[in-house]
Amino acid sequence: MQFITTPAEGPERRRTAGTENNILEEFQSGVGLGPLVPVKGTLNASAYQDILDNFMLPTLWEQFGDDPFLFQHDCTPVHKASSIKTWMSKFGVEELDWPAQSPDLNPIEHLWDELERRLRARPSRPTSVPDLTNALLEERSKIPINTLLNLVESLPRRVEAVIVAKGGTTPYYIHVHEEREGARKSEEKRGEVRRSEEEQGGMRKSEEEGDGLRKSEKKRGGVRRSKERRGGVRKSEEERGRARRREEEQGEVRRSKEE
């Protein structure tokens, strides 16, 4: 995730270094948004340089032309790689000195939070990286340009807040953290609701299957009883037939004796 701004005094202290896994790289400036670039697999120095060559540099030329600017990116090992430093020097890109692990300083974090809220509000979720990219492009196109300008203009206030906090936690960090924590809890709650609905659906299905089995068993029982009744009728008819034949035979015997 990248942030491009017009010249401003950078922060004068360092925070704890760290790394961050990125799925998408985005460019933001005081004159608008740049391309949204999906990153496949692990972002290494080579892949990052490809992004700089094919997306960042054309965006700088288009948005700033010959005007001066400062380029800001996170203080991660990939961004600090010697090959990246060489690339920056080759193309005359001046970097803004930036402390690691400082989402409260980076306005684009709030832009990502806004995009995340918009994504969660959509009726259906993206199921692939292309779907996610298209959804992000659609949602960020709806964000007013004034929102972007306000984020860019908040950078001096963010730096001042860090100085006041002596490098500690600032309200901007708390805001980002609380929003993400709230989004995470909301997602967990929705997941629990979905699981509960699925469990209830499974219970209803089991009950319906049980009712179906009982009805089927009852039907089979009725068929058996019907067969038994028919068998009983046939047996009674056979017994009556045998009785008639015995009576006829006895009658013939009596007539024979009389003769």
Residue 10 has pLDDT above 70, yes or no: no
**pTM flag (> 0.85):** no
Q: What is the pLDDT of residues 196-228, one digit of tens each?
A: 777 776 677 767 776 777 777 777 766 677 666
What is the C-alpha to C-alpha distance for residues 144 and 54, in angstroms, rounded to an integer? 26
Which domain does 161 fall in, by range?
A: 2-169
Residue that the structure tokens 């996610």 belong to: 132
201 found inside a domain: no
pLDDT at 217: 74
Please report whether residue 234 resides in a domain.
no
Spell out the SS3 assignment of 151-193: HHHCHHHHHHHHHHCCCCCCHHHHHHHHHHHHHHHHHHHHHHH
pLDDT tens string 87-112: 999 988 888 887 877 878 888 888 88
Q: What is the predicted pLDDT for the residue at 140?
A: 86
Does residue 113 sit within a domain?
A: yes
- Residue 209 CB partners (closer than 8 Å, separation 6+): none
* Crossing angle of the two packed helices 171-258 and 155-164, in degrees rounded to 10: 100
User: Each residue of 118-128: pLDDT tens digit?
Assistant: 888 898 888 88
Is 255 domain-assigned?
Answer: no
> Residue 1's pLDDT is what?
36
User: Where does residue 218 fall: left (phi above 0), alpha (psi -120 to 50 degrees), or beta otherwise?
Assistant: alpha
Six-digit token string for 114: 């806004």
Find the mean pLDDT for residues 46-62. Answer: 88
**How many structural domains comprise the chain?**
1
Q: Answer yes or no: is 34 within a domain.
A: yes
**Whole-number percent of the chain with pLDDT over 70:** 69
Domain assignment present for residue 163? The answer is: yes
- In a domain? residue 93: yes
254 belongs to a structural domain: no
- Long-range contacts formed by 109-112: CB under 8 A, 24+ apart: 109/1, 109/176, 110/151, 110/172, 110/175, 110/176, 111/26, 111/28, 111/140, 111/143, 111/147, 111/148, 111/151, 112/1, 112/26
CATH of the domain at 64: 3.30.420.10
Instruction: Say whether pLDDT at 191 is over 90.
Output: no
